[in-house]
Structure 1
Amino acid sequence: MRDKVAIEVWDGWIRLFHWGLVAAVLVSFYTTKTSGAPFLFPVEVHAQAGYLVIGLLIFRWLWGALGSVYARFKTFLYPLGKTVAYSNTLLKRQPSAYASHNPLGGWMVVLMLLSLSFQAVSGLFLSDDIFFQAPLYGLFGDGVGSQLRALHQLNSDLLIILIGLHLAGLIVHRLLGESLLAAMFVGAKRFRQQPVDGRNEPLNTATLRIRALGTLLIAAGVVLWLWFY
């Protein structure tokens, strides 16, 4: 049966955010595992990747309130009861179709954003005790700094688990006939029936462009301040 319903879900800003975040996180993880080429000072590159992550996350948190309909948190965050009910239908391989994130995926997105936010912000208070000190290193004293270092390392393990679950979710939905990865490239999803949260609100309006510009300026300002601090 051919797909009958095509809905533009992810606006260009969300797609740029997503793939920019993927790249920055990959660089961040890589520079924790290398001590040489291709980077002369991996710890500095690690920190710079973290600054970019902070900027991207600032954009996403703001865009979750001001952005296009499917980017807004209120669109894809559901009460516990609906989330549990959806999880049960997923286990039975009979999940309802959602244009935006489904109830389980929506909370996973927020959890990952929170974990990434803590990881990036906590890194601002750290030092490698040799060559590099982050912009806010020493602000709260050695005791708090030591605790943040430990939590930073623990949270990196949590992030690996969350990323693994995210990738597993992509595979599960692909097996169920929903290509989430393709949608994050082209912006549109195709359905055999109208999704539960299907809406026909336009994505590219003058108001959204103004909001996007303002949000980008805020995020870029923070990144530039951190980069040249």
Structure 2
Amino acid sequence: MKVLVWDWPTRLFHWLLAICAVGSIVSVKIGGNAMNWHFRFGYCVLGLVIFRILWGFVGSRYARFASFPPSPMRALAYLRGKVSETLGHNPIGAFSVYALLLLFGGQAVGGLFANDDIAFEGPLARFVSSETVSLITRLHKLNEWVLYGLVALHLGAILYYRFAQKTDLVGPMISGTKPGSVGDGADWGAGRSVLALVLAAASAGAVWWIVNLGKSVQTF
């Protein structure tokens, strides 16, 4: 039978993050006025990461961080075939999630202080020195390549599981379900949907406040 593993907020986060990552890369490569969209995509990434962190504590069973704590020992045991597959994130997948949140979150936060050395700068750049802006901008550009590598590993893992392990990772991230037994599914109800919407609104509001902080300070 099919059971719910990935709730809709987790799935929506996953696909929106992918869209924003692609949009951010395309817009920064185009440059010029497209940089406005680069910043917008970055703000969306920040909001998504904030939401996912919150959802990691109050979401459904397999979305909670408690269900996939980072464990180097379990990861090594998994690579040696001593840990069986689970419905949720396996030990390697767990590290991937934490790395994505850390690096994408750091990239989005760094973008708030970075500039393009021409006409665009992050909304919080005015609060730090020019030397700090230059340093953060360099780190922002360097981390871009780290993210490329992480995304390549992520896609490579998907292909490996699909063709070598005969396991589809993409389908369940669309449907939310996997084959399982009664009692293995995620705990879900209408209340969690409401909670997800509240947290999404709060995350968006937090990003809006951060982005407009410079304007309000300047006004007063």
TM-score (norm 1): 0.85
Query: 1:200 deviation in Å?
Result: 3.5
State the distance in 1 between where 2:116 and 2:75 align: 42
Question: Aligned match of 2:80 in 81, 88, 91?
Answer: 88
State the distance in 2 between where 1:158 and 1:145 align: 20
Q: What's the secondary structure of 1:20's corresponding residue?
A: helix
Which structure 1 residue ranges, 5 or more long, are not aligned?
Answer: none
Query: 1:223 deviation in Å?
Result: 3.4
Query: 1:52 deviation in Å?
Result: 0.5
State the distance in 2 between where 1:14 and 1:74 align: 15
The answer as to 2:26 corresponding to 1:34 is: no
User: In the TM superposition, what whole-angstrom CA distance separates every residue of 1:120-143 from its partner, at most 9, and x where no partner exists?
Assistant: 000000122332221101322112
1:28–1:49 contact (8 Å) kept in structure 2: yes
Query: 1:225 deviation in Å?
Result: 3.2
Q: Which residue of 2 aligns with 1:179?
A: 168
The answer as to 2:187 corresponding to 1:202 is: yes
Question: Aligned match of 1:108 in 88, 92, 96?
Answer: 96
2:77–2:83 contact (8 Å) kept in structure 1: no
Q: Which residue of 1 aligns with 2:157?
A: 169
The answer as to 2:45 corresponding to 1:53 is: yes
State the distance in 2 between where 1:31 and 1:201 align: 37
Q: RMSD across aligned C-alpha pairs, in angstroms?
A: 1.9
User: In the TM superposition, what whole-angstrom CA distance separates every residue of 1:44-100 from its partner, at most 9, and x where no partner exists?
Assistant: 1100100011111111010011111100111012432211100111xxxx8622111
State the distance in 2 between where 1:26 and 1:219 align: 21
1:7–1:99 contact (8 Å) kept in structure 2: no
Which structure 2 residue ranges, 5 or more long, are not aligned?
Answer: 216-220
| Letter of the structure 1 residue corresponding to residue 166 of structure 2 | G
Q: What's the secondary structure of 2:17's corresponding residue?
A: helix
Query: 1:218 deviation in Å?
Result: 1.1
Q: Which residue of 2 aligns with 1:118?
A: 106
State the distance in 1 between where 2:175 and 2:194 align: 22
Query: 1:201 deviation in Å?
Result: 4.2
| Letter of the structure 1 residue corresponding to residue 86 of structure 2 | Y
Query: 1:119 deviation in Å?
Result: 0.4
The answer as to 2:58 corresponding to 1:66 is: yes
Question: Aligned match of 1:189 in 178, 187, 195?
Answer: 178
State the distance in 2 between where 1:114 and 1:25 align: 14
Question: Aligned match of 2:85 in 97, 121, 124?
Answer: 97
Question: Aligned match of 1:215 in 165, 184, 199?
Answer: 199
Q: Which moved more, 1:41-50 or 1:77-86?
A: 77-86
Q: What's the secondary structure of 2:62's corresponding residue?
A: helix
State the distance in 1 between where 2:101 and 2:161 align: 21
State the distance in 2 between where 1:78 and 1:156 align: 24
In the alignment of these two chains, the number of paired residues is 211
State the distance in 2 between where 1:47 and 1:200 align: 38
Percent identical among aligned pairs is: 36
Over 3 Å counting, the alpha-carbon distance change for 1:136 and 1:227 in structure 2 is closer
State the distance in 2 between where 1:64 and 1:173 align: 25
Matches within 5 A, 1:121-160: 121-160=109-148
